[in-house]
A and B are shown apart, each in its own frame.
Chain A
């Protein structure tokens, strides 16, 4: 068995640690970590155990090849709030997404997942038009969307959610072969905002080129892409005609108007204001005024109805694993063993976290065997005898 330095780097990224951080945690020089990662030297057994303990990966993980693991991952990763997050945080999320992709790849040997179902949309299509085309393609009508995550999953877009180490990361997406994976941060517990985040990532999927390196884009170019994804998200969640009808029925630009619209369309008041401005329903001056009023009311963080609107969590991975367990294809132990054999040795709790599964769903089952010889404490009398 050969120690795989790339796996050490992955595991370090996964835990959001710098070389310095890891070296100080396990009490060795940072140069040693670099040498392990580049394959110039191998860690001692003692150091290896310390690495496993700190990075929460089983020892086998560091001796597996990367074949079929990350080689298939190509293209770019879109992050919301890219400029406000450090590269370290972005690397952490990318590596986690690679693991999600590897687990998906493993599961798809046994499970037929929904196929990707997206319309052909040329790159020069305006975002509002693209949103209209996608709604029509998915037969969504013009009404509110209260099950966006399930709609995306039904149409072959893999969605999961987990906690991120930085609150500034809302959502991110990546292309994996022909497959798109969207991750929603669980740090944000406001459903109306998460709906918008998911629709925003959908906008990137539909509108943008996935083979360019967004790290090389200028700030303006990146902002333009984000703006397009926002316009798409707003138009997708609340189509222009429906918005105009409702907005004009309400006859007013007070914040109460947006509270009512939020209740119907499950978009945050901030996003609805943005939408109204983009559609020309209000003037830029009205937008600025209302935006200031929103902040003055303290609705920047907590808006009305935030506690009433709920987001249905992703269910695809949960359904897939439930099916494998229910049909006795695997036990939880053999599932994890097969995942390890596939080249992705991980702790079950990590898999649960990455796939957004309920805690303990993949815990090893308790087995009782009749062949176990019962052990009894000897009594004092026997000792004497």
Chain B
């Protein structure tokens, strides 16, 4: 287990794991009724399902955030003072492989929270505590203003929930901390094993008619036979 991830947070991770599984199992029909909490463009429907599944998780402070046209979730865990966001595995891999570690601005803002951490193979002092940090801190501060349990933004850290899917099935899920250069800090925590195997996946769509099994009754001949058999047994 990663020593940067608080024990109390680890105990809460199964909630996120099960909500993610639920997003991959059950929430697609919600799109039809317009009940999803975010509505990004159609290719990102899966993200809308995940956001809808996670947005009301207990034990976390969750807010919907936007960067341009992109809606996403900021999840804050008060015990560990960690800000959690989701990322697809191939997206994170692509950022980690790129030489200049270029990524969307909001992702840089978030990993900037981990600037004091040092990941495996990360060069020292690439990020300092200099003036340029103030700019992103201002943006993050604004985002985090509504987290009532955040004590000190400078002590808050960021955690990625990394996932992958194949044919609408969740195939990979883990919790990873990366430093501001996207080098991994400590070990990743596998979350696939945290998914409750008994978790129901109510995939049935809702019919508009009552379900009733067909009814059968005994015929007069059968009723007579029943009486005859009973009389014979009583004797």
Decide if A265 is an interface residue (CB 8 Å cutoff).
yes
The answer to whether A264 and B219 touch across the interface, beta carbons within 8 angstroms, is no
Find out whether the CB atom of B211 lies under 8 angstroms from the CB atom of A150. yes
Q: Among residues 278 to 326 in chain A, which have CB atoms less than 8 Å away from a CB atom of chain B?
A: 304-305, 308-309, 315-316, 319-320, 323-324
Interface residues in chain A, defined as those with a beta carbon under 8 Å from any beta carbon in chain B: 108-114, 138-147, 150, 153-154, 246, 249-252, 254, 256, 259-260, 263-266, 304-305, 308-309, 315-316, 319-320, 323-324, 327-329
Chain A residues within 8 Å of B214, by CB: 114, 150, 153-154, 315-316, 319
Do the beta carbons of A150 and B216 come within 8 Å of each other?
no
Chain B residues within 8 Å of A150, by CB: 211-214
Q: List 26 A-B contacts (CB under 8 A).
A: A110-B221, A110-B222, A111-B222, A112-B217, A113-B216, A139-B209, A143-B207, A143-B208, A150-B212, A150-B213, A154-B213, A154-B215, A250-B42, A254-B42, A260-B29, A260-B31, A263-B203, A305-B203, A309-B203, A316-B214, A319-B213, A319-B216, A324-B222, A327-B226, A328-B226, A329-B222
Distance in Å: Cβ of B146 to nearest Cβ of chain A: 32
**Which secondary structure characterizes the binding site on chain A?**
loop
Task: Note all chain B residues with C-beta closer than 8 A to A109.
Answer: 219, 221-222
Which residues of chain B have a CB within 8 Å of any CB of chain A?
A: 25, 28-29, 31-32, 34, 42, 45, 167-168, 201, 203-209, 211-219, 221-222, 225-226, 229-230
Q: In angstroms, how far is the closest chain A Cβ from the Cβ of B233? A: 8
Instruction: Establish whether residues A260 and B32, one from each chain, have CB atoms under 8 Å apart when the complex forms.
Output: yes
B49 CB to nearest A CB, Å: 10
A328 to B207, CA, bound (A): 37
Which of A110, A111, A251 lies at the interface centre, i.e. has the most chain B CB atoms within 10 A of its CB? Answer: A110
Bound form: Cα–Cα A308–B29 in Å: 14
Instruction: Out of A251, A263, A309, A329, name the residue touching B218 (CB < 8 Å).
Output: A329
Taking a contact as CB atoms closer than 8 A, the residue among A113, A142, A260, A263 that contacts B208 in the complex is A142
A260 CB, nearest partner CB in chain B, Å: 5
Complex CA distance for A250 and B201, rounded to whole angstroms:
22
Q: What residue of chain B has the Cβ atom nearest to residue A266's Cβ?
A: B205
List 15 other contacts, CB 8 Å, given A112-B219, A114-B214.
A109-B221, A110-B219, A111-B216, A111-B217, A112-B218, A140-B209, A143-B206, A143-B208, A143-B209, A250-B32, A256-B45, A260-B31, A304-B167, A319-B214, A319-B215
Residues of chain B within 8 A of A328, CB atoms compared: 226, 229-230
Given the complex of chains A and B, what is the CA–CA distance between A251 and B40 in angstroms?
13
Q: Are A259 and B207 in touch, CB under 8 angstroms?
A: no
Residue with the highest number of chain A CB atoms closer than 10 Å, among B34, B201, B205, B206:
B205
Take A111-B218, A246-B32, A260-B29 as given contacts and tell me if A144 and B206 are in contact as well, using a CB distance cutoff of 8 Å: yes
Q: How far is the CA of A298 from the CA of B174 in the complex (A)?
A: 30
Residue from B206, B209, B217 whose CB has the most chain A CB atoms within 10 Å = B209
Which residues on the A side are within 8 Å of B212 (C-beta)? 150, 154
Q: Which residue of B lies closest to A260 (CB)?
A: B28
Chain B nearest CB, measured from A159 CB (Å)? 9
Q: Compute how far the CA of A139 lies from the CA of B207 in the bound complex, rounded to whole angstroms.
A: 11
Nearest A residue (CB) for B25 = A308
Q: What residue in chain B is nearest A110 (Cβ atoms)?
A: B222
- In angstroms, Cα B206 to Cα A146, docked, is 8
Q: CA separation between A145 and B207, bound complex, in Å?
A: 6
Contacts of B229 in A (CB 8 A): 328-329
**Contact partners of A329 in chain B: CB under 8 A:** 218, 222, 225-226, 229
Chain B residues with CB under 8 A of A251? 42
| Given A250-B42, A319-B214, A323-B218, A147-B28 contact (CB < 8 Å) | no
Which residues from chain A contact B222 at a C-beta distance below 8 Å? 109-111, 324, 327, 329
Chain B, residue nearest A156 (CB)? B214
Q: Which residue of B lies closest to A302 (CB)?
A: B167
Please report the C-alpha to C-alpha distance between residue A340 and residue B216 in the assembled complex, in whole angstroms.
23
- Which 5 A-B residue pairs are closest in the complex by CB-CB distance? A143-B208, A141-B208, A153-B214, A110-B222, A264-B205
- Per the bound structure, the CA–CA distance linking A246 and B28 in Å amounts to 12
**Partner of B29 from A112, A154, A263, A324 at Cβ < 8 Å:** A263
Chain A positions within 8 Å of B31 at CB level: 249-250, 260
Question: B218 contacts A110, CB within 8 Å?
Answer: yes
B217 touching A263, Cβ below 8 Å: no
Query: CA of A323 to CA of B221 in the docked complex: distance in angstroms?
Result: 14
- Neighbour of B205 across the interface among A254, A256, A263, A316, CB < 8 A: A263
Residues of A within 8 A of B201 (CB): 308
Contacting residues, chain A, for B216 (C-beta < 8 A): 111-114, 316, 319-320, 323
Residues of B within 8 A of A112 (CB): 216-219
Of chain B, the residue at the smallest CB distance from A256 is B45
Across-interface contacts of A308 in B (CB, < 8 A): 25, 201, 203
Question: Which chain B residues lie closer than 8 Å to A147 at the CB level?
Answer: 207, 211
Across the interface, which residues of A come within 8 angstroms of B215, CB to CB? 114, 154, 319
Nearest CB of chain B from residue A71's CB, rounded to whole Å: 22
Q: From A109, which residue of chain B is reached at the shortest CB distance?
A: B221
Give the residue name and chain of the B residue nearest to A153 (CB). B214
C-alpha gap A278/B93 in the complex (Å): 44
Which residue of chain A has the shortest Cβ distance to B26 in the bound complex? A263
B182 to nearest A CB, angstroms?
30
- The answer for the CA separation of A140 and B211 in the assembled complex, in Å, is 10
Residue of B nearest to A242 (CB): B208
* In the complex, residue of chain B having the shortest beta-carbon distance to the beta carbon of A317: B216
Smallest Cβ distance from B73 to chain A, in angstroms? Answer: 22
Min CB gap B162→A, angstroms: 23
- Complex Cα distance, B130 from A179, in Å, reads 86
